[in-house]
Chain A
Amino acid sequence: MIKFEDVTVTYTDAPLPSLRNVNLEIQEGELALLVGRTGSGKSTLLRSINGLVPHFTGGLLEGRVTVAGRDTRTNPPRELADVVGMVPQDPMSGFVTDTVEEELAYGMEALGIHPQTMRRRVEDTLDLLGLAEIRDRPLLSLSGGQRQRTAIGSVLTTNPSVLVLDEPTSALDPGAAEEVLAAIQRLVFDLGLTVLMAEHRLERVVQYADRVVAIETDGSVVHGEPAAVLASAPVAPPVIEFGRRLGLSPLPLSVRDARRETATLRRDFHPAHVVTGGIDGTIANAPTELVADIDHVSVTYGNFVAVNDIALHLRRGEIVALMGRNGSGKSTLLNTMVGLRKASLGRVQIGATLANPYGMEGGELLKHVGLVPQEAGDMLYAQTVTGECEAADRDANAEPGTARALLDQFAPGINGETHPRDLSEGQRLSLVLAVVLAAKPPVVLLDEPTRGLDYPGKRNFTRVLQELARDGHCIMLATHDVELVAATASRVVIIADGEVVADGPTKDVVASSPMFAPQISKVMRPFPFLTVDAAVEALGGGKP
């Protein structure tokens, strides 16, 4: 269905090709998963399927890409619109109209499909993706999962045989991600659509995939059965790493596989081992210094109560994960803690001196609390990394070189002359963290820090957070990434509808929740394990 014949893509002004000698054939009805580090050319590969590369982006494409027998060399993207449905990473940025139903019809209108056919297909698609109830809602009012499903629906109505998705779940909470993945599965299994999808969080999708296509950092491509490709991949989702370390064969791809294959191991496992060690989660030390006191805070926008009577105490050395659905009030709470929002009721006291952040002068605020916002790039203004670090030292009245030293600690070896926009996702996050930490705030807040991070990036980020906590910082991060929480956080706060619904040590809170439990905890249930290391050690330290 999709065929790459010795394809090499080189962008204008780029020293090296983004894709190198790619030979790949995806059969009809396959669900193929595209994996690779950030910046490795995943988007380039996806966009060359419908001819956006090179017709839209420029650059040089050697070799040949054919989709359903059509050569992308002679067919620009608009002529392939009836064969390839392309869903961009941020669905909102690709919407042309303003309501769900019109968005679904837009592509068909452009193709000149007969009005009666259009009407029937829109109705079918509304049912297929569960959008019937929101058919006349404005797109701006939709939740993340609904937007993503609308975006999928809007390309499905032209009846394409290939669906291409660029990280469809990266911005979604676990519940909404399930919703979208269920819809994609249905398209593959019931309609026989060919799907190629890029995804960072393999743990969510790998069990559905027929094939994994891995892009190496030099732009070459390896592909094959998921188990075969992942058996040798440097980093893999927890379940696969767990399977590899225990030497399970075949390699488990899902929680279900892993449970079935470890049934005997777990039956022979004595909970007595738990007491002596192996169970992770920080042991409660003597309480450290209080650095944030959120005293029954409520925040309202007009009639909408975004944060409702939240009381939290945060101490030095803690890594607190703030979890909850999209729109449950996580960002509002973080913004209130740095004084960007005013608490309607209650008060926030933060920093070593427990001061109120609202209305505090910019330079003063930095010494009490730092926030890395969701769009971390918003914090960067300079033309070079060096310029950014120097500006951060000035803003914070810190010793010259403070920010650069921090950056080298988080991500060594970044060239100072690089433009911040050209950094990889992980490097940019490190730079923003360094900039924020130059003023040495005792409290650091992070809003969805791992959105674009791949596994190595996440592993490094985890190490950085743990070092910061050891140095006596208090860290609070809002995130949807359950595996990251399992690996880093000492405490988890779950909020829903602006209220705290759970607050406690990580293993107590997430292990019991079907939505927020990490894979290992699902595999090891009822024993409270969170990480691969601990579980493998407890089950016999590797090979029997």
Chain B
Amino acid sequence: MSKTLPRYLHPGAWWLWAIGLAVAASRTTNPLILGLILAVAALVVAARKPDAPWSRSFSVFLKLGLFVIAIRLVFQVVLGSPIGDHVLVTLPVVPLPAWMASLRLGGEITWESIIFAACDGLRLAVLLACVGAANSLASPSRLLKSMPPALYEVGVAVVVAMTFAPQLVTDLGRVREARRLRGRSNKGLRGAVGAALPVLEGALDRAVTLAAAMDSRGYGRTGQLPARVRHLTVALVLGGLLGVCIGLYGVLSANAAVVTGAPLLLLGVIAACVGLWLGGRRSIRTRYRSDPWARPEWLVSASGIAASVGVMIAGIVNPVSLTISVVPLEWPALPPVALLGILLAALPAVVAPPLPMPAAIRRRTGGLTGVPQTAVGAPS
């Protein structure tokens, strides 16, 4: 195997990998499997996370996950019906009117119900962690850059929106300060309206300037495409996306059979891809330093898919192994297929190329070797 030089991995590969892990997590409440997925995601993030503002999001998503578990537990304690008979604590029951008889507030809290709720919450938390991992591994702007040409306009709109939002906040601050200098209050509805108008005016002005700048730089030079091809493109993309949605539902939901979901998903993806390819032909744009899709990308995305396949096979072989058993309360088993699949998903920590050093640091440390330029302890 040839050595992989330091570079940024294609953001699409990271997202495929994370989606694979997320699909695996969504099909199980087994805390052992979920914990393993979380550990694998954390390991890869720790190994391949670049040093950029957007790459700090993993811990944010972890905290969000803890919050989700806490919410799930609170709901279980307050509103849930008891499962099993290992009583943890008995809360006073709040009497409710007859028409709310199906609801129950308080009462016995059992170990079983707490554990069930915690595992259920954990599943959501791990899903969030997978999204967070993708977010902190793949640069959002590079992801937008690798969008198919047919979706280029959408990508530009998102990029412009991303730069506009912080500008609006800065403008608002400036206008509020100016109002204070006029001796006006920023409080209350009048203050808010008074500040909002100049900000919106400024945003409009800037939008017009940007449009002029983009026009003078050649934005929107497109080739012409016959109407029939355009209609076909739209039909394929929309139909494909619908197929993807139904297919995803089949794959993700534990009730529907994997057998019906997967083919529909595949068909939808193909239709959408063909549509995007057709639509992309009208654009004459080229791409600057597009991220390559080479062996590391294949390996990383395959490893993510391996995790979901492993968990799905485990589910087909023995459906019970994927759920936590609370009645009777049992220590969960770890199906070997699932274990193997998820461990494969840890491979990106090694097979993904190492991170390149930013240019600014490279210069400061005097080259890639990091050797300082002044000699230490020179003979005198």
Contact surface of A with B, Cβ cutoff 8 Å: 47, 50, 52, 55-56, 76-82, 84, 86, 88, 90, 93-99, 101-102, 105-115, 118-119, 122, 132-137, 140, 154-155, 158, 335, 338, 340, 362-363, 365-366, 370-371, 373, 375, 378-379, 381, 392, 395-396, 435-436, 439
Assembled-state Cα–Cα distance A133/B163 (Å): 23
Chain B residue at smallest Cβ distance from A366: B183
Residue numbers in A under 8 Å from B206 (CB-CB): 93
Cβ of B85 under 8 Å from chain A = no
Report yes or no: B180 in contact with A84, Cβ–Cβ below 8 A: no
Residue numbers in B under 8 Å from A136 (CB-CB): 358-360
Interface of A is mostly: helix
Cβ of B287 under 8 Å from chain A = yes
Interface bin, chain B: 35 or more
Residue numbers in A under 8 Å from B290 (CB-CB): 115
B226, chain A: closest CB distance, angstroms? 20
Cβ of B217 under 8 Å from chain A = yes
Cβ of B218 under 8 Å from chain A = yes
Q: Which among B166, B211, B216, B363 is the interface contact of A84 at CB below 8 angstroms? A: B216
Chain B residue at smallest Cβ distance from A112: B284
30 pairs from A and B in contact (CB 8 Å cutoff): A56-B215, A77-B215, A78-B220, A79-B221, A80-B216, A84-B216, A94-B214, A95-B213, A96-B160, A96-B214, A96-B217, A98-B163, A101-B289, A110-B217, A111-B218, A111-B221, A113-B286, A115-B288, A133-B360, A154-B217, A338-B181, A362-B184, A363-B183, A365-B180, A373-B178, A375-B174, A375-B178, A392-B182, A396-B183, A436-B181
Assembled-state Cα–Cα distance A26/B374 (Å): 53
Report yes or no: A373 in contact with B181, Cβ–Cβ below 8 A: yes
Report yes or no: B216 in contact with A77, Cβ–Cβ below 8 A: yes
Report yes or no: B209 in contact with A90, Cβ–Cβ below 8 A: yes
Residue numbers in B under 8 Å from A81 (CB-CB): 216-218, 221
Assembled-state Cα–Cα distance A115/B290 (Å): 9
Report yes or no: A109 in contact with B363, Cβ–Cβ below 8 A: no
Report yes or no: B178 in contact with A56, Cβ–Cβ below 8 A: no
Interface of B is mostly: helix
A384, chain B: closest CB distance, angstroms? 16
B357, chain A: closest CB distance, angstroms? 11
Cβ of B263 under 8 Å from chain A = no
Assembled-state Cα–Cα distance A122/B215 (Å): 21
Chain B residues 178-210 with CB under 8 Å of chain A are 178, 180-185, 194, 197-198, 206, 209-210
Residue numbers in A under 8 Å from B145 (CB-CB): 102
- With contacts A98-B159, A154-B217 taken as known, whether A109 is within 8 angstroms of B287 at the C-beta atoms is yes
Chain A residue at smallest Cβ distance from B356: A136
Assembled-state Cα–Cα distance A132/B217 (Å): 22
Report yes or no: B185 in contact with A362, Cβ–Cβ below 8 A: yes
Report yes or no: B286 in contact with A98, Cβ–Cβ below 8 A: no
Residue numbers in A under 8 Å from B166 (CB-CB): 140
Report yes or no: A109 in contact with B286, Cβ–Cβ below 8 A: yes
- With contacts A86-B213, A109-B287, A395-B183 taken as known, whether A378 is within 8 angstroms of B198 at the C-beta atoms is yes
Residue numbers in A under 8 Å from B213 (CB-CB): 86, 88, 93-96
Assembled-state Cα–Cα distance A151/B215 (Å): 15
The digit string for B271-313, where 1 denotes a CB below 8 A from any CB of A, is 0000000000000111111100000000000000000000000
Chain A residue at smallest Cβ distance from B214: A96
